[in-house]
Chains A and B, each alone.
Chain A
Amino acid sequence: MSLTAYLVVAALLFTLGLGIALTRRNAILVLIGIELMLNAANLNLVAFWRFGAHPEFLTGMLFALFSIAVAAAEASVGLGLVIAWHRHSRTTDLDGMTRMKG
């Protein structure tokens, strides 16, 4: 398959992720949307590595590996924050997160 096909799939995935992050009310789902966008970027990186000029340097692949590690860190901190917020206000609804005071 050509590079374009993979990039189109990644773009569609990014669109869906953005849509989820912008429209859902629940904080956990917004995080899911962000994860989807990160994954779309990863797919781009690996596809560019595979069809790029110098696949022997593995740059895109290693970038994707680092990105996976960073995404794991992001998910753990993000979900920790959601749980902490839920303990405070008994909700995970983003529309209800309007106070900054603890």
Chain B
Amino acid sequence: MMEGFLFGLLAVLTLSGAVGAALLRNLVHCALSLTLTFVGLALLYLNLDAQFVGLSQVLVYIGAVAILVVFAILLTGGAGKMPTHPTVSAGWRTGWLAAVAVGFVLIGALLHSPLPHSDVPAPEVTVQQIGRLLMGPYVLPLEIVAVLLTVALIGAVIVAMPERKGESK
């Protein structure tokens, strides 16, 4: 009962943030609404006993991605007045239709598939266990992610760097 109420609250929080990002006109409001979704997701992870993932979600998404998004909005001048021109593209009805169709297919498939419906006891996960796995069986993915992040860092700096005069017009 209590558990269901908590889950419902978190689900509503998460989804209302996403709805806000879909419908609000001002870009910064969209970004802040997105942050609400990230908070909701982090709390859902905590509710799923995945403490480490939940805290990483807060650290990466709220501390880095959300800040990146608002910075990008400010740097591209989208933070000023409310936009006057339409904020959705011309074929937005088709787009939403396709998205809702995908959603129906997904949820329909979910409700008709034989998923385990048992209350599994919460597994005991310590940070040490995660660390051992990351340094043991998962060391290759970890290294690849490290390389990917370095490449992304350098790539993002080079892409966003102002071009030197004479290099292109």
Contact = CB atoms under 8 A, between A and B. Distances in A.
Q: Do chains A and B touch in the complex (CB under 8 A)?
A: yes
**Dominant SS among interface residues on chain B:** helix
Given A13-B15, A65-B53, A29 B30 contact: yes
B116 A35 contact: no
Contact of B96 (A22, A35, A64, A65): A22
A84 B22 contact: no
A39 B91 CA distance: 26
A73 B69 contact: no
Nearest to A74: B152
Nearest to B163: A87
Interface residues of A, number: 71
B22 A20 contact: yes
A23 B130 contact: no
Interface string B92-126: 10111011101100110011000111101011010
Interface string B141-169: 11001001101110111011010000011
23 contacts: A4-B110, A5-B7, A8-B111, A11-B106, A15-B102, A20-B22, A22-B94, A23-B92, A24-B89, A28-B27, A29-B30, A32-B30, A39-B41, A52-B116, A58-B130, A61-B53, A62-B130, A65-B130, A66-B142, A75-B69, A76-B68, A82-B76, A83-B159
